[in-house]
Structure 1
Amino acid sequence: MVPIVFVHGIRVSATMWDPVRSRLGRPSAAVDLPGHGSRRGEPFTMESAVQAVADAIEGVAGSGGRAVVAGLSLGGYVGIAAAGRFPGRVAGLVAMGCTASPGRRAGIYRSVASLAARDPGLANRISAYGLRRLLPGPAGEALVAGGLSCEVAPQVVEAVAGHDQLAALAAYPGRVWLVNGARDPFRADERAFLRACRNGRLIHLPRRGHLGVLAAPGPLARLLDDLCDQVDPAPRDRADQTGRPGSRV
């Protein structure tokens, strides 16, 4: 059964995926990227982030093993980079909320990141409040449980803006699912991202915004399990190991 490696968004940590992982019907791991969570204080580069994903794949799938990589926002951009860099290790890619070309809006992102980094303590408190208001309950608490790291935002913006996502997608031969909330502004360039994929599919989640895809962890876990079944040489039975009925999309 192919495992999943989850990659988190900017300033949060691996804990954001806890509600989804607890509902999966397969093994999984969630990585803390450099500068975030347990790795707070480390410099962030795209190269170090991609290596963190590769290490997580090895940790959950063994030496030479493969895993589906699923990331949201920053995690999606890092997942795209990892798939382009290590195509033999990425069994499939689920890239969520990351189909806006950062280079076109880099000035805005740099300004916001710089503002956050001037007083990261204040920015972290404001972020925690906003995240809990946006996603009340377990989903919001999971976003803040591992701590927030607004100080790393300028490094993240430069790393993402300097990476060619379309080239990385074109270099990756495996299955790619671009998953966007229907109300997510990061959908802006989704058609260009889809055209770049060799074997891609675009999925819209109705009535969801950028982080709103996390609001219903059960349906998201079922979707991810079903997508993994499409690349898994030994897919789950219709009733999986958790006793939950399987489903298909």
Structure 2
Amino acid sequence: MESKEAGLPLVFVHGMRVSGTMWRPVIRAIGQRHPTAAPDLPGHGDRRGEPFSIPGAVAAVNQAVDALGGRAMLVGLSLGGYVAIATAAAHPDRVLGTVAMGCTALPRGLFGAVYRGAARLAARHPQQADRLSAFAFRRALPPPQAQAMVSGGLSCGITPSIIKAVGEMDPMASLSAYPGPVWLVNGERDHFRRHERLFLRACRDGRLIIRPGCGHLTSLTDTADLIRHVRDAAAVVTARIHGSSIPEGVQ
């Protein structure tokens, strides 16, 4: 699966309240060269109704890695980025590299309190919160990306348990424990980049990429640019596997 001919296996990890369908435009554009998977995390998509936990989410990603041959590179956005980091630390022999997008903030102080309050409100009125989320996706994203975000269903009612689970994580310890390459990719306008330098310092083999003009959601708008970052990371991992030189211009 990891030969240059087959392409590096890629597991895409979705964000909070959406599902694996959010990655369909990216996976479609990547094409057939890379084996891909985009699992639903507990409480999301086809697994709505299940309780969410970080260990359960890590298990879901690990099962997707299994389905691709036992080793893969992870790409996660927002909640998916935190889960990708946790999975890399738990299974460093199976995670060949990690692209963690929009997930370099610690839920502390007022920042965390705002999200906990919004999550409690969403849980009290889940149907209204789902409709509001769908409206926000359609306002922020082009139609193909917006449709991908909502087509697997929305799960706003589970957000308090997600916020609590992420708040109890120690992403710095996870990054420090993982020996493989990590790409921290943030939109220039993403409010989740507030602790990106702390996250970068925690990485044993990390690099930070800022995408100009992008926010948290709008990082999905330019599919071609996003895919370029994923392919560049995959090229680095593949070169290391095969002991070859990294292509010029790739970070």
Query: TM-score by structure 2 length?
Result: 0.91
Q: Superposed, which structure 2 residues align to 1:89-238 within 5 Å?
A: 89-104=94-109, 105-232=111-238, 233=241
Tell me how far apart the structure 2 counterparts of residues 129 and 108 of structure 1 sit (CA, whole Å): 20
Alignment partner, residue 23 of structure 2 = 17
Higher mean C-alpha displacement, 214-223 vs 99-108: 99-108
Report how far residue 2 of structure 1 moved.
Answer: 1.8
Deviation at 1:234, TM superposition (A): 5.4
Equivalent residues of 1:103, 1:162 under 8 A apart: no
Query: Which amino acid counterpart does residue 68 of structure 1 have in structure 2?
Result: M
Map Cα deviations across residues 45-78 of structure 1 (whole Å, 9 max, x no partner). 0110011110110012x2xx21001100000011
How far has the Cα of 1:34 moved from its partner?
A: 0.3
Distance 2:35 2:229 in 1: 15
In structure 1, which of residues 9, 12, 36 is the aligned counterpart of residue 44 of structure 2?
36
- How far 1:222 sits from its partner (Å)? 2.4
Q: CA deviation at 1:107?
A: 2.0
Q: Within the alignment, does 1:81 sit opposite 2:89 as a pair?
A: no
| SS at 2:22 equivalent | helix
- The share of aligned pairs that are identical, in percent, is 54
Letter of the structure 1 residue corresponding to residue 73 of structure 2: V
CA contact (8 A) 1:26 1:225 kept: no
Q: Verify: 1:2 aligned to 2:8, yes or no.
A: yes
Q: Distance in 1 between matches of 2:213 and 2:108?
A: 27
Shift of 1:137: 1.2
Q: Matched residue pairs, number?
A: 236
Q: Which runs of 4+ in 1 moved over 6 A?
A: none
Question: How far apart, in 2, do the equivalents of 1:187 and 1:49 lie?
Answer: 22
Where structure 1 has 5 or more consecutive residues not aligned to the other structure, the ranges are 236-246
Residues in 2 aligned to 1:72 and 1:53: alpha-carbon distance in whole angstroms: 13
The structural deviation recorded for 1:86 is: 0.8
Q: Distance in 1 between matches of 2:183 and 2:250?
A: 15
Structure 2 gap segments, 5+ residues each: 1-6, 244-248
Instruction: Determine if contact 1:170/1:198 at 8 Å carries over to the other structure.
Output: yes
My pick for the range that moved more, 106-115 or 161-170, is 106-115
Q: Distance in 1 between matches of 2:81 and 2:42?
A: 15
**Is the counterpart of residue 27 in structure 1 residue 35 in structure 2?**
yes
Structure 2 counterparts to residues 57-68 of structure 1, below 5 A: 57-60=65-68, 62=69, 65-68=70-73
Deviation at 1:117, TM superposition (A): 0.5
User: Could you give the per-residue CA deviations for residues 137-186 of structure 1, whole angstroms, max 9, x where no partner exists?
Assistant: 10111111101000110010010000100000000000000000011111
